Amino acid sequence: MKRTIVELMRPNVAKMQGYKSARHEYQGSANILLDANENPFDWDYNRYPDPHHFRLKRELWKTLGWDMAKISLGNGSDELIDLLIRAFCEPGKDAIRVLNPSYGMYKVTAELNNVEVIKTDLDEDFQLDPTLAFIPSTPPAVKINKEKIFFLTSPNNPTGNAFHQSLLEDIISRYDGIVVVDEAYVDFSSRGSLYTLIDKYPNLVILRTMSKAFGAAGLRIGIALADGLITNVLHKIKPPYNLSTIVQEQAITQLGNYTKILTQSHLTMADRDRLAADLRSLFCVERVFPSDANFLLIKTNAADEIYDFLRKKGIIVRNRSSDHGCFQCLRFTVGTPVENKALLTALNEYDDLNS
Ligand SMILES: Cc1ncc(COP(=O)(O)O)c(C=O)c1O
């Protein structure tokens, strides 16, 4: 038998009361607000922000159709990753599982919280073992299963590939714990979101962000989509005013540009495929990995040298050589057409000097 969400939760977190701020207690509009020790002299930002993010959630519902009751918002996905680990993992006792390689903040955040990190290595094509050999066919007894959360990133970073939805669903249905599917890059993928599976699986959390396709990395807005108990616990433990008024307002404005955002994502996907084809013709590029994201991972014949060559030309990329399975690999964000052209020109120059 798999553990229930309440059994997975840290007992002290399940028991505790969340902080009730003044704006939690009173949310209407009133002529005189003397409940929050604010400066009473009027200005756009003299009042605390809405701790429930009501208007922003309503805008997300209107734009993307997400049920407002399933949305939790964080100061970037990074805050939500931290809240999830703190809600479910007992320091010094529990563990999370991550893909290897994958986004580094799961590990850093787990280590900061004194939570063990168990890695599932991807194969040389960055695929998951389809037999799911890393998931026991019968969950171990409650007391000895220290694994609480599996962070599955699809499309994955730094590899760029998205996993088959049926494989992900298989994991969600079998895993004895919370499965967080981080869909930070899903807007650039031909494989869709797993959002609709939330109604079927109470242990599923979908992570989205406004930092990638939505063009708002500077605002810091992460979105967790989940059902009932998980959403409740995230609301209970988040810092009450984790998104400022300015951030909430700017995010609503940016969601009003959704048509433009969609056009930009399609342009980026087309540019990504063109850039991949151009990179394949270079001597210094041994392999361009398939990408469902807004970046490309390439295997080169000399990652450090190429990284330095590009840096001297003012082009900064990510050297992922030390990641599992990524020896000699560089990761490029797909930029504007002008930026992509500059990258290709520089790499052609590198080829001319080194071949
Ligand atoms: C897979 C993945 N998840 C989450 C994030 C961070 O998102 P945010 O900017 O919302 O904290 C990143 C950032 O690169 C990422 O690659």
Strands 147-153 and 95-100: parallel
Closest CA to 123 of 147, 97, 156: 156
The predicted pLDDT at position 167 comes to 96
Question: Does 259-354 match 5-256 at the fold level?
Answer: no
The predicted pLDDT at position 20 comes to 87
CATH number of 259-354: 3.90.1150.10
pLDDT band for position 136 (50/70/90)? confident
Residue 16: pLDDT above 80?
A: yes
The predicted pLDDT at position 21 comes to 86
Based on the number of CB atoms within 10 Å of its own CB, is 52 exposed (0-12), middle (13-18) or buried (19 or more)?
Answer: middle
The predicted pLDDT at position 133 comes to 87
Q: What is the DSSP string of 321-335?
A: TTSTT-TTEEEEE--
Q: Which fold has domain 5-256?
A: Aspartate Aminotransferase; domain 2 (3.40.640)
* Pairwise CA distance, residues 32 & 30, whole Å: 6
- Of 209, 210, 254, 320, best ligand 1 pocket probe by most atoms within 8 Å of the beta carbon: 209
Nearest atom, ligand 1, residue 210 CA:
10
Q: Are 145 and 92 in contact (CB under 8 A)?
A: no
pLDDT (tens digit per residue) in 103-132 = 999 999 999 999 999 999 999 999 999 898
| Three-class SS state of 124 | coil
Nearest atom, ligand 1, residue 221 CA:
10
- Of 83, 102, 103, 126, best ligand 1 pocket probe by most atoms within 8 Å of the beta carbon: 103
Structure tokens at 126: 């960055």
Residue 143: pLDDT above 70?
A: no
pLDDT band for position 139 (50/70/90)? confident
The predicted pLDDT at position 273 comes to 98
pLDDT (tens digit per residue) in 42-54 = 899 999 999 999 9
Residue 134: pLDDT above 90?
A: no
Residue 142: pLDDT above 80?
A: no
Between 140-144, 147-151, 313-317, the lowest mean confidence (pLDDT) is in 140-144
Query: What residue ranges do the domains of the chain occupy?
Result: 5-256, 259-354
Closest CA to 205 of 224, 186, 229, 233: 224
How many whole angstroms from 157 Cα to the centroid of ligand 1? 9
pLDDT (tens digit per residue) in 215-247 = 999 999 999 999 999 999 999 999 999 999 999
Q: What is the DSSP string of 219-258?
A: T--EEEE--HHHHHHHHHHS-TT-S-HHHHHHHHHHHTTH
How many whole angstroms from 189 Cα to the centroid of ligand 1? 16
Which residue's CA is minimally distant from atom 14 of ligand 1?
A: 103
